[in-house]
Amino acid sequence: MMRTASLLLAGLFSLPVLAADALPLVEIYKSPYCGCCGAWAEHMEKAGFQVETHLVDDVDASRARLGMPQAYGSCHTAKVGGYLLEGHVPAVDVKRLLKEKPKAVGLAVPGMPPGSPGMEGPPPQAYDTMLVSKGGTATVYQHHGVPGKAEAVRPPLRFGSDGR
């Protein structure tokens, strides 16, 4: 009996630690007819995020309502941790965004570049994840090269809490 009570108490005290490490919910707004958006959702789930999908008839209108500039448009828009994600943003970039917390609208991978999460398939191509500012401009947040293809090394940009 005493051992059971000790185990129960140990389990209760570890719950806040587990909750503190949990990743926030990713809410995806996508067309019901887009299959690559589902593949991106699976990528996010495999990375430890919980995902909730909202099927919308007008992706462009949803993007505008959420606040992502149309210039960075792709096939879906998502919300996570107070930020917006546009397109096939890698989970590793989202985790970095949530850790660094720059002042920004969020991240975007404009278009649908082959080789990005959810767009796996030949031939992959290099692409950039963009950090979209609240003013609508964007800078390269992370460059993603093609595996096995040599290219110039471009270190990721680091942003402080002021967005610079």
Residues 61-75: tens digit of each pLDDT: 999 999 999 999 999
| Non-local CB neighbours of 66 within 8 Å, separated by 6+ positions | 29, 77, 79, 84
Give domain status of residue 67, yes or no. yes
2: left (phi over 0), alpha (psi -120 to 50) or beta: alpha
The H-or-E segment that residue 38 falls in is helix 35-46
Give domain status of residue 54, yes or no. yes
Instruction: Give mean pLDDT, residues 37-54.
Output: 96
Name residue, tokens 């009570």: 5
* Domain of 136, in residue numbers: 23-144
Total structural domains within the chain = 1
Give domain status of residue 99, yes or no. yes
How far is the C-alpha of 113 from the C-alpha of 75, rounded, in Å? Answer: 11
Give domain status of residue 12, yes or no. no
CATH number at residue 42: 3.40.30
Q: Is 24 exposed, middle or buried (0-12, 13-18, 19+ CB in 10 A)?
A: middle
Q: Is the pTM for the entire model greater than 0.85? A: no
More confidently predicted of 40 and 160: 40
Give domain status of residue 158, yes or no. no
**pLDDT level of residue 22 (50, 70, 90 thresholds):** confident
Give domain status of residue 11, yes or no. no
Give domain status of residue 13, yes or no. no
Q: State phi, psi for 141 to the nearest 5 degrees.
A: -95, -40
On average, the pLDDT of the chain sits at 84
The pLDDT, as a whole number, for residue 68 is: 97
Whether residue 19 has pLDDT greater than 50:
no
pLDDT tens-digit series, residues 63-119:
999 999 999 999 999 999 999 999 999 999 999 999 999 999 999 999 899 999 999
Give domain status of residue 106, yes or no. yes
Long-range contacts of 40-44 (CB under 8 A, 24+ apart): 40/76, 40/88, 40/117, 40/118, 40/119, 41/118, 42/118, 43/90, 43/91, 43/117, 43/118, 44/91, 44/94, 44/117
